[in-house]
Structure 1
């Protein structure tokens, strides 16, 4: 079987001028490669919102595992015909962290950094089981430990068995020290990027207070207004609108370009930062978003296709084949995992 190095070498040269595809991969024709790896080889042209690179599904070989199809960049070809056009497709998984210690105590948590409870750990593990057959190339979390714990625990259940590694970009030295120089290690790991912009809404003077006691102190209607209005912040805190400004800006500037490039992304964050992102994805009004409730530890799947986000709901269980067959690519990815692990 052709090695990954041979495939990559051949893809770097020898493109067919009409189709934009390589004539051969190593010593094998495209037809042979398609048959051996059981993949469909077809040129993809860029849409107006997409990068100036085409994408092709190729196989990365591993000495210890069977191969799983993953995306790879190939040069664009402006001579490609309309009949060969095909859009990039990517998966987006959103997970609200599992139950935290202050969730359990019914306290306003906000940006206070508290860990998961035992129940929260189990919720994160169960979330990981639900997404265990969905491809993930990058992980984004908030800077808070409960979101990071949820991401790590969820990935421990993924059938691909890649290792999540937190990227340190807080300084030039930290960035240098955290670099991974082994190409084999890079193939078997997933970068985790932390961002304060994905943090929970800052509850100001309410943080650390019991929710029932707060209602008794300030009045039930006033606390309800702070919690459920869109643009009214609690004392010295953030409104949902203020939280949305930073969370959505980070999503559109940092995360969405990765999805448009064909990367499969998971975001582990918080109720209000995720509500803000869902407001953007589903084009909800300020009135619609305030009634949106997200349960702890329940993942939600979106598919980005033709520049549009399609909400698919929450996967049920890894044994439910139908739930992953939302698209042909997800179904094929699951099939490859089955072949690799059986």
Structure 2
């Protein structure tokens, strides 16, 4: 029997999700569709009888905004929300801002798939010549981190995401879960994938095939040792969920775009 319930949530669609660009640490708000996704997520959780006790987000607006909208839809606006850079999206380095489909056209779909989904491949690092470098590293939110600004990543593999996420998971989130509190982590595609890999023991090879759509709550039921009692479950209309997964997977396919 499950002792604890944990929800993971990839934020609702952002402006650059819509444009099929690597957003990463560039701060973006939700698109109109992303707002709807977050509201529908909160409505679904409320309809199914769930209540939240604690919420964790990254430092990025699309993650925070999603948490606001979910808790508002549930009538749980009062629930504490804690934020950490350790839940940020994977840092895609020099790929930030680039269109995935155009990259696939120029470099091949398999190369882009490895950049997006592999466990231990790191993209080229961002440098000061990158058009979004100073947008990220001059942002005062990163002066609040538990590491100096110069030690923040310039590029990451999924393995590195998990490495920087685990201290926060073990020291901050796990104690809340063990107080028998229902926790929502409103984060990003790769920070959620990294946590799923850790919790469920997904292999380095198999994590490549794990795709998470925006705005779909993921339920994890855990025993007293925080081991899953069954595979994670994406909640909602399963046909719509599979269509959303295919949409995300198609982002890395080669096709000419106007963006």
Q: TM-score range by the shorter chain?
A: 0.7 to 0.9
Corresponding position: 1:142 with 2:58: yes
Partner of 1:305: 223
Q: Provide the C-alpha distance between the structure 1 equivalents of 2:26 and 2:203, rounded to a whole number of angstroms.
A: 29
- Structure showing greater radius of gyration is 1
Distance 2:111 2:236 in 1: 38
Displacement of 1:312 in angstroms is 5.1
Secondary structure of 1:139's partner? strand
* TM-aligned CA deviation for residue 153 of structure 1: 0.6
**Among 90, 99, 115, which residue is 1:201 paired with?**
90
Q: Provide the rounded CA distance (Å) in 2 between the counterparts of 1:230 and 1:312.
A: 20
Instruction: Identify the residue that residue 94 of structure 1 maps to in structure 2.
Output: 8
Aligned match of 1:225 in 104, 114, 118?
114
Question: Is contact 2:4-2:224 (8 Å) kept?
Answer: no
Q: Runs (4+) of structure 1 moved beyond 6 Å?
A: none
- In structure 2, distance between residues paired with 1:213 and 1:304: 41
Tell me whether 293-302 or 212-221 shows the greater mean CA deviation. Answer: 212-221
1:248 & 1:278 partners in 2: Cα distance? 12
TM-score (norm 2): 0.74
Q: Which residue of 2 aligns with 1:124?
A: 38
Greater fraction helix: 2
Partner of 1:238: 156
Once the 2 structures are TM-superposed, how far is the Cα of residue 315 of structure 1 from its aligned partner? 3.4
Give how far 1:284 is off. Answer: 0.6
- Tell me the distance in 2 between the aligned counterparts of 1:157 and 1:121: 11
- For 1:301 and 1:219, the matched residues in 2 are separated by 34
Distance 1:153 1:219, change over 3 A: same
Question: More displaced, 137-146 or 248-257?
Answer: 248-257
Verify: 1:315 aligned to 2:235, yes or no.
Answer: yes
2: CA distance, partners of 1:262 / 1:129: 23
Number of residue equivalences: 204
Aligned to 1:73: none
Shift of 1:219: 4.2
Kindly provide the CA deviation profile for residues 243-277 of structure 1, in whole angstroms up to 9, marking residues without a partner as x: 11112332122111211121111000000000000
Cα distance in 2 for residues equivalent to 1:252 and 1:218: 38
Pairing partner for 2:67 from 132, 151, 155: 151
Over the residues paired in the alignment, what is the CA RMSD in angstroms?
1.8
Classify 1:257/1:212 alpha carbon distance in 2 versus 1 (closer, same or farther; 3 Å): same
For structure 1, list consecutive stretches of 5 or more residues without a partner in the other structure: 1-86, 164-188, 318-342
TM, length-normalised to structure 1: 0.57
Distance in 2 separating the partners of 1:142 and 1:303 = 23
**Structure 2, gaps ≥5 residues long:** 126-154, 238-259
> What's the offset of the Cα at 1:213?
2.2
Task: Specify which of 261, 266, 281 is matched with residue 199 of structure 2.
Answer: 281
Deviations along 1:215-253, whole A, 9 cap, x unmatched? Answer: 344444433322222111110121111111112332122
What pairs up with 1:257-296 in 2 under 5 angstroms?
A: 257-296=175-214
CA deviation map 1:19-67 (0-9, x unaligned): xxxxxxxxxxxxxxxxxxxxxxxxxxxxxxxxxxxxxxxxxxxxxxxxx
Greater relative contact order (Cα 8 A, min sep 6): structure 1 or 2?
2
Change (3 A) 1:153 1:286: same
